[in-house]
Amino acid sequence: MKLRETLYFFLLAFFLQACNDTITDPNYHSGTSYYPIEEGWYIHYQVDNKDLTNEENSTTYQLREIIGKPYDDGFGGENYPLYRYKRDNEDVEWELDSVWSVVYRNNHLIRYENAIPLLKLTNPLIEGSRFNQNTYNGLDAITPSGQDLRYEVETVGRDFTFEDQVYMNTAVVLEVNNSSLITNSEETRRAVYQKDIGLILVDHNSISKVYYEFNTTQPSLAGNPYCGVNSNRQVIDLDNGDRVDNPFFELDNCETNPIFGVDDDSVNRWITKWESSANSPIVEARDGDNGTKILLLINPNEFNGYREQGSAMTQKIIGYGIDKTVD
């Protein structure tokens, strides 16, 4: 009995050890593993450029990036040319668009984009860390106004979901993250890398929100979105389910400007009243030139209360592999 138990525990221990031997450290924090450089390695992308202001200006095409034969980079290492081809769709031939290059140097992955060296990944990659993409081109990491241009490593070794598709073992780098209260605009750019594949996604959005705007110099407000079908509605339901109070509901003439031709105290009282209402219509009230006041209000005729303008670009992987026929 003891012999049988001893044999059982020996076999169990052997089995567990064998299982453990098949589990290897994926080394998720190695920056180089997220951008393999190999001659002939290619990735195909679908690129969609959406013009949110004028849809007719939107474009779509496919991009092919393929790594060529290495050459001496002049620093004791090897640069690899990165041939970039474009085509409208898969039914037409690729046409050479440009030649960039890529290199590992000092634990850095550097891409020369239109001859400008940009630091794209570091080794190791650490979540929450920042690095200066301009390390090799002489540009600053911080603008004179204090804007931080450094890239930020958002996640490493995690799954990333985009448009209902899950990408495993990714590194996500936030390359641009700017916002302005003055223009109600926001710009973000994320680069997503997948382990042992490379760059799989770029998501770049530059969007500003356009609200209903008027100021104290306008005697009348022709085209006021709170008028027309909304003029008899004290509270207006937006298409997205939100609600907004109508600050013109109590006026005899809906298109009359309630803050035109009155003193500053009256203007401020009107603003305060509607800023503190249950469903405030006021997004922002700011000072203009020569003592004027500029107001931005939710636009009840827009789905979300505002109209978006700007651009949205996605560059998403659609294929990858090895092609040794590249020059």
List, for residues 189-208, the tens digit of each pLDDT value: 999 999 999 999 999 999 99
DSSP SS3 for 285:
strand
The full DSSP string for 27-51 is -TT-GGGGS---TTEEEEEEEEEEE
Dihedral sign (CA 319, 321, 325, 327): positive
- Same domain membership, residue 203 and residue 139: yes
2 part of a folded domain? no
172 part of a folded domain? yes
Q: What is the pLDDT of residue 7?
A: 46
124-128: long-range pairs with CB below 8 Å, 24+: 124/29, 124/30, 124/31, 125/28, 125/29, 125/30, 125/31, 125/34, 125/153, 125/156, 125/171, 126/29, 126/153, 126/156, 127/153, 127/154, 127/155, 127/156, 128/152, 128/153
* pLDDT higher than 90, residue 93: yes
26 part of a folded domain? no
Q: What is the mean pLDDT of the chain?
A: 90
- Same domain membership, residue 196 and residue 216: no
146 part of a folded domain? yes
- Same domain membership, residue 196 and residue 158: yes
- Same domain membership, residue 218 and residue 204: no
* Other beta carbons within 10 Å of 143: 10
Lowest-pLDDT range of 60-64, 136-140, 182-186: 182-186
* pLDDT higher than 80, residue 248: yes
Place of tokens 């567990």: 16
- Same domain membership, residue 54 and residue 193: yes
- Same domain membership, residue 289 and residue 315: no
* pLDDT higher than 50, residue 21: no
Lowest-pLDDT range of 2-6, 164-168, 195-199, 213-217: 2-6
Q: Using pLDDT thresholds of 50, 70 and 90, give the confidence band for residue 29.
A: low
- Same domain membership, residue 236 and residue 291: yes
- Same domain membership, residue 278 and residue 146: no
The pTM assigned to this predicted structure is: 0.78
* Total structural domains within the chain: 2
* pLDDT higher than 60, residue 14: no
- Same domain membership, residue 226 and residue 189: no
Residue 279: which residues within 8 A CB-CB, separation 6 or more?
235, 242, 243, 244, 245
* pLDDT higher than 80, residue 64: yes
224 part of a folded domain? yes
* Other beta carbons within 10 Å of 262: 13
* pLDDT higher than 50, residue 139: yes
142 part of a folded domain? yes
Q: What is the pLDDT of residue 32?
A: 81
Q: Using pLDDT thresholds of 50, 70 and 90, give the confidence band for residue 307.
A: very high
8 part of a folded domain? no
CATH of the domain at 134: 2.40.360
**C-alpha distances in angstroms, 172 versus 142, 156, 168?**
21, 7, 11
The residue segments making up the domain with residue 231 are 212-305
Do residues 103 and 126 lie in contact, with contact meaning Cβ atoms separated by under 8 Å? no
Q: Using pLDDT thresholds of 50, 70 and 90, give the confidence band for residue 22.
A: very low
- Same domain membership, residue 248 and residue 219: yes
Average pLDDT over residues 169-173: 96
- Same domain membership, residue 188 and residue 40: yes
d(CA 170, CA 158): 5
Buried b (16+ CB within 10 A) or exposed e, 101-113: bbbbbeebbbbbe
Q: Is 279 exposed, middle or buried (0-12, 13-18, 19+ CB in 10 A)?
A: middle
* pLDDT higher than 60, residue 24: no
Conformation bin of residue 244: beta by default, left when phi > 0, alpha when psi is -120 to 50:
beta
Place of tokens 């936030």: 174
16 part of a folded domain? no
Per-residue model confidence as pLDDT tens digits over 250-280: 899 999 999 999 999 999 999 999 999 999 9
Q: What is the pLDDT of residue 327?
A: 63
Residue type, 19: C
Dihedral sign (CA 121, 124, 127, 132): negative
- Same domain membership, residue 188 and residue 55: yes
